[in-house]
Every structure is written in structure tokens, then in C-alpha cells.
């Protein structure tokens, strides 16, 4: 049909435009020119011969992976009449809510800046630069005085904003009727119900083998595990992103996980990437930002206190400090409902040539932000690769967990999905918790905002994140949250206060994620 063809050519043009500036494009061009020397390339059939050459040398695969990566990350081109804000977030009231939330964050940061009389950014003197360079690998030993700093916001502040989110065109009557939401979220977004989730997560079904279930010690490895590992190795040899994404839906073997995730996220370690990371490191050494102190504080408060992650403290600084200097992260704001904070060079207020973003990557860290990086330290030990993986995970998934949007993987939809699942399939539990003043979302919100990092045991967390990558969606976080409540339902029915409910759900470190998900989705009698 006419419309679909023109849509397709628009998508192709957009992807070509994006790939043109990349290393891969330069590589393909170079190889194409070099291949002209080869005897099998003939002038009469130049196009086909070069295409064949690309196929054999593996470059076609790399191009396929790059295109697949673009398709997974960037949304489809929208209607030509739609303004850029529409691509960030189609619903006007959500854009406004995100705007006012951002204003609050900026005010908070500005007041911290003026109260403590610390500049937002400062060029380091040469002596300090040398000192930092010397102890780059052990920044954790540094004990700066951070007592005056406080995190800009915590997840519970964000939850209050989401609770107060209202659609002005929606019937928000005071009297209870069929249109009132019984949970905390009051916006009518479309969320999947269990039949749709069963279809979406079909590979988690009872008859399909899973790592996390079918690799336990009681199950002989010949039944599933050996074959699965063999297939995984084959996927890695083929270097196919799409196949890897499909593969990890059933879990990834520990030995192959690092490479598989790098393949799915289309990260390869070229010298240019290592050079880019070194450049970011230089930027950290040259300029000191207020945001750095926030990062230090966050790491000290969260990851350093965690039994599993405290060993990675130095890595966390190396990744997060560089992350805040990385301007390539700014491009994700095209599809993120949030916008990067703006500022002007001192003395040039209002002049657009002196407008800059602060921090350079536009992302202000909140309490718990470093927990997005911590689990990745188990997989990657080389700082530039760890950095690239984290950056890609952030611009694909994690940014949705702390911005207000109507996207199905956005935190608002996840909260609504969690509450809807709980109400529909555990109505007695939901009613009981609501009656005692313990709305379930108040407990599960912090799990979902951190993608369960720091709450589950690390092997279980990595199995969960396998599925996030495999399905390219964060909805599994809401399903797991509901499954945890279902698992502890008996205990929860006996509590009589919010504090007691929190206590029942305080420790998730013994939970096995995959059996919980499987039972909740496929084995619960509805």
C-alpha cells in the first residue's frame, strides 16, 4: 500500500542518516574501496560482487546488527505534522507534569549550590588534576566531606509526583464509581492483562526450558542446559544481534553473558571507543562538577553498603563520573520525555552562543542511581567496555524508570500494570492492604525504579536483566513485583500496618526469580 511503502522509505532514510556518522559506515566504505583490488570483484557486476564480499567478510552481519540496534532504540518516525515534543511524549498533560517535576529538581540543585556556596562547575588547578590522575583507580579511598550534600531526590519523592498525576480531561470524580482507580496511579494508560502477557512472554512458559529453573542441580544437564549452552556459543560465533536477543529470553549462561549482552547492545571495543572513554576521563580530570559530589554521596550511601557491590566502588566512580561528561547521551532526549537542564556561561545569561547543558550529559543522578551500574561490574572488568554497556543500557531502558511518560515501559505504566495485576488476580490481598493503609505500590515502587538492583541476589538479578534485554521491555519488572506479592500473600494477609507489610517484604535476597514469574504468569488459577 502506498502509505506503508512511504513509511518504510522514511524509516530507511532515517536509519541511513543516523548510521552515516558512525565508525561502521567509514569501515564499510574503506573495505569497499579496498575490495576493488580483489580478483572476484568485476566491473560489470560491481554492486552484486561487493555485496557478496560484505556477506563473506562478516560486514553485512555488522550492518544488520547496527540497523537492528537502531530499530530497537529509536521510535519509528512520527507523523510529519507532529512537533518534536510529540515524539518525546504524545500526551500534553504528562509533558507538563514532567516539566514541573524537572523545575523542582533544578530549584533544589540551585538552592544546594547557593547554600553551600559551591559552583556548579569549576576548572581544577593543575596540581589537583595531577593528584586525581594518580589516584584514578582508587577514588574510593578518598573521603571527602559530603555531610552537607544531600541527594537531589529519592524515589519516594518521585512516587508522590506520580500519585498526583491527573489527566484534566478525565472524570476524576470524588465519589467512588467504576471509573475510580483503587490503586495510587490515577491515569488510564493501556496496560497488558495476563492473557496478553502470556502471549508476550511466551518463551517463559511451562513447556520451554529456562535458565534459572531447568539448570538447577536436580535437573540433569543433558535435558536442557548443555544444548542451551551449545546454541549460545553458536549465536556468538554467528555474531547476530537479533538471534542473541531471542536467545537470552530463556536466560544466558554465566560464561557467555558478557559477550551476549555486548552483542545485543551492539557494543564492540574498537580503539576509537577506548579513546573516547579516555577523552571523557580527561574531561573529568579537568573540570570538577557539583554533580560529582552527588555521585560520590550516592555511591557511599548505596553501593558501598551493599554486601555484593562494595568491592566495585572504584569502578562505579570511574563509570559514573565519565557518564556525566558524555554529550552523546544528549541524543536520547529526542525520545525521552525529560529534557536536559540548561545553563549559561557566567556573565552571558541569555546569550544562546553561551548556552550549555548541565551536567554535560543532561542527567541529574538521584538517590540509588549508582545501583544501575553495580550489577554490570560482575560482567565487565575493563572500564571502557563497562562504561559503554552501562551507557547503552541507560539510553535504552533505565531512563524510563525516572521520567514521566506514557510509554508502555515507562515507570507510570509499570506502576499501573503492577496495581492492575494485583487487583485482578489477588483482589483479597489488595483490598486488605488498602484497608490497613499499606498501598502495595508504596512498597514495590522502589524495587521497580531500581530494576530490582540491590534487592535480589546478583545471579537472580542478572537472570531478570537477561529478560529485559531479550524482550526489549521493562514490563517484566511489574510482573515480578506482583509475583513477589503473590508469593508472600499468606504472610501479608496477616499484617495490620504498613510497617509490618514492609517488614514481610524487606528481604528479597532468597527469592528465585524465574519460578516466581512462571508460576504467576502460567500456573496461577484465575
Partner 1 sequence: MSRVSVPCHVKGTVALQVGDVRTSQGRPGVLVIDVTFPSVAPFELQEIVFKNYYTAFLTIRVRQHTSTHTPAKWVTCLRDYCLMPDPHSEEGAQEYVSLFKHQMLCDMAQVLELRLILRQPSPLWLSFTVEELQIYQQGPKSPSMTFPKWLSHPVPREQPTPLLEGLPDPSRVSSEVQQMWALTEMIRASHTSTRIGRFDVDGCYDLNLLSYT
- Binding region for partner 1 (CB under 8 A): 1-3, 17-18, 20-22, 78-79, 81-82, 86, 90-92, 103, 106-107, 109-110, 113-114, 119-123, 167-171, 179, 187-190, 276, 279, 283, 287, 325, 327-328, 330-331, 341-346, 349, 353-354, 356-358, 360, 406
Are 417 and 475 in contact by the 8 Å Cβ rule? The answer is yes
| In the complex, least distance from residue 70 CB atom to partner 1, rounded to whole angstroms | 13
Residue at grid coordinates 528465585: 512
Residue among 246 and 331 whose Cβ is closer to partner 1: 331
Alpha helix (H) ranges present in 239-289? 241-247, 254-264, 271-286
At closest approach, how far in Å is the CB of 181 from partner 1?
11
Q: How far is the CB of 473 from partner 1 (least distance, A)?
A: 16
Backbone angles phi, psi at 281, to 5 degrees: -60, -40
CA 270, distance to chain mean position in Å, is: 23
Distance CA 516, CA 204 (A): 11
Question: Nearer to partner 1 by C-beta: 341 or 375?
Answer: 341
Residues 24 and 526: their CA atoms lie apart, in Å, by: 50
Residue 101 Cβ, how far from partner 1 at the closest point, in Å?
13
Cβ closer to partner 1: 90 or 515?
90
Q: Which is nearer to partner 1, 302 or 384 (CB)?
A: 384
Nearest to 245 by CA among 457, 411, 465: 465
Cβ 194 to partner 1 shortest distance, Å: 16
Nearer to partner 1, 45 or 164 (CB): 164
397, three cell numbers: 531502558
Helix, strand or coil, per DSSP, at residue 74: coil
Least distance from C-beta 343 to partner 1, angstroms?
5
Yes or no: say if 214 and 441 are a contact pair by the CB < 8 Å rule: no
* Strand-pair category, 355-357 with 287-289: unpaired
Report the nearest approach of partner 1 to the CB of residue 351 (Å): 10
- Complex with partner 1: residue 17 or 237, whichever CB lies closer: 17
Alpha carbon 485 to chain centroid, angstroms: 24
Cβ atoms 377, 312 nearer than 8 A = yes
Asked if residue 316 has a cis previous peptide bond (ω within 30° of 0), the answer is no
Tell me whether residue 168 or residue 195 sits nearer to partner 1 (CB atom): 168
The nearest distance, CB 423 to partner 1, in angstroms, is: 16
Residue 444 pairs in a beta bridge with: none
The SS3 call for residue 357 is strand
Q: Are strands 121-123 and 287-289 parallel, antiparallel or unpaired?
A: antiparallel
- Cell 550549555: give the residue: 356
- Calpha distance 391→400 (Å, rounded): 14
Instruction: Assign 63 to helix, strand or coil.
Output: helix
Q: How far is the CB of 235 from partner 1 (least distance, A)?
A: 30
- DSSP of 188-209: ------HHHHHHHTGGGSTTS-
Minimum CB–partner distance for residue 342 and partner 1 (Å): 5
Nearest alpha-carbon partner for 375 in 459, 251, 314, 444: 459
User: Measured from the CB atom, is 252 or 405 closer to partner 1?
Assistant: 405
Measured from the CB atom, the residue of 251 and 360 that comes closer to partner 1 is 360
- For residues 18 and 434, which CB has a smaller minimum distance to partner 1 in the complex? 18
In the bound complex, what is the minimum distance in angstroms from residue 280's beta carbon to partner 1? Answer: 9
In the bound state with partner 1, the residue whose beta carbon lies nearer, of 47 and 79, is 79
Give the integer Cα–Cα distance in Å for 57 and 292.
44
- Say how many CA atoms lie within 13 Å of 158 toward its Cβ: 26
Amino acid at each position: 500500500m502506498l502509505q506503508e511503502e512511504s513509511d518504510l522509505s522514511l524509516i530507511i532514510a532515517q536509519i541511513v542518516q543516523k548510521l552515516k556518522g558512525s565508525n561502521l559506515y567509514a569501515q564499510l566504505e574503506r573495505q569497499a574501496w579496498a575490495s576493488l583490488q580483489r580478483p572476484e570483484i568485476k566491473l560489470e557486476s560491481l554492486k552484486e560482487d561487493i555485496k557478496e564480499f560484505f556477506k563473506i567478510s562478516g560486514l553485512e552481519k555488522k550492518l544488520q546488527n547496527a540497523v537492528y540496534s537502531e530499530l530497537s532504540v529509536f521510535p519509528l518516525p512520527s507523523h510529519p505534522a507532529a512537533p518534536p515534543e510529540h515524539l518525546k511524549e504524545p500526551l500534553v498533560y504528562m509533558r507538563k507534569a514532567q516539566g514541573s517535576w524537572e523545575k523542582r529538581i533544578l530549584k533544589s540543585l540551585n538552592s544546594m549550590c547557593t547554600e553551600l556556596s559551591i559552583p556548579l562547575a569549576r576548572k581544577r588547578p593543575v596540581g589537583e588534576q595531577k593528584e586525581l590522575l594518580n589516584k584514578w583507580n582508587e577514588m574510593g579511598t578518598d573521603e571527602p566531606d559530603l555531610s552537607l550534600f544531600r541527594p537531589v531526590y529519592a524515589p519516594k519523592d518521585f512516587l508522590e509526583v506520580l500519585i498526583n498525576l491527573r489527566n484534566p480531561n478525565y472524570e476524576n470524580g470524588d465519589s467512588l464509581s467504576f471509573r475510580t482507580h483503587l490503586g495510587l496511579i490515577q491515569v488510564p494508560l493501556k496496560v497488558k492483562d495476563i492473557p496478553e502477557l502470556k502471549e508476550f512472554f511466551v518463551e517463559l512458559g511451562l513447556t520451554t526450558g529456562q535458565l534459572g529453573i531447568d539448570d538447577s542441580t536436580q535437573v540433569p544437564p543433558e535435558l536442557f542446559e548443555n544444548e542451551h549452552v551449545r546454541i549460545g556459543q553458536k549465536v556468538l560465533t554467528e555474531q547476530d544481534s537479533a538471534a542473541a536477543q531471542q536467545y537470552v529470553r530463556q536466560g544466558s549462561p554465566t560464561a557467555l553473558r558478557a559477550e551476549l549482552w555486548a552483542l545485543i547492545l551492539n557494543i564492540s571495543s574498537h580503539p576509537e571507543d577506548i579513546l573516547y572513554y579516555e577523552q571523557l576521563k580527561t574531561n573529568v580530570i579537568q573540570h570538577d562538577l557539583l554533580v560529582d559530589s552527588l555521585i560520590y554521596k550516592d555511591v557511599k550511601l548505596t553501593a558501598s553498603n551493599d554486601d555484593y557491590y562494595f568491592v566495585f566502588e572504584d569502578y562505579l566512580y570511574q563509570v559514573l563520573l565519565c557518564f556525566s561528561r558524555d554529550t552523546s547521551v544528549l541524543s536520547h532526549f529526542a525520545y525521552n520525555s525529560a529534557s536536559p537542564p540548561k545553563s549559561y556561561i557566567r556573565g552571558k545569561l541569555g546569550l544562546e552562543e553561551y548556552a550549555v547543558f548541565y551536567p554535560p550529559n543532561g542527567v541529574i543522578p538521584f538517590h540509588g542511581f549508582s545501583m544501575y551500574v553495580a550489577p554490570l561490574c560482575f560482567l565487565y572488568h575493563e572500564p571502557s567496555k563497562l562504561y559503554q554497556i552501562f551507557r547503552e543500557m541507560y539510553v535504552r531502558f533505565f531512563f524510563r524508570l525516572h521520567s514521566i511518560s506514557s510509554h508502555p515501559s515507562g515507570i507510570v505504566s509499570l506502576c499501573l500494570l503492577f496495581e492492575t495485576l494485583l487487583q485482578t488476580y489477588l483482589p483479597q490481598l489488595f483490598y486488605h492492604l488498602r484497608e490497613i493503609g499499606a498501598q502495595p505500590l508504596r512498597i514495590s515502587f522502589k524495587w521497580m525504579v531500581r530494576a530490582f538492583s540491590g534487592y535480589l541476589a546478583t545471579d537472580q538479578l542478572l537472570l531478570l536483566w537477561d529478560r529485559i534485554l531479550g524482550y526489549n521491555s521493562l514490563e517484566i519488572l511489574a510482573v515480578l513485583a506482583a509475583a513477589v506479592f503473590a508469593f508472600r500473600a499468606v504472610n501479608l494477609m496477616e499484617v495490620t500496618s504498613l510497617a509490618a507489610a514492609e517488614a514481610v517484604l524487606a528481604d528479597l535476597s532468597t527469592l528465585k526469580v524465574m519460578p516466581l514469574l512462571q508460576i504467576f504468569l502460567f500456573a496461577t488459577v484465575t
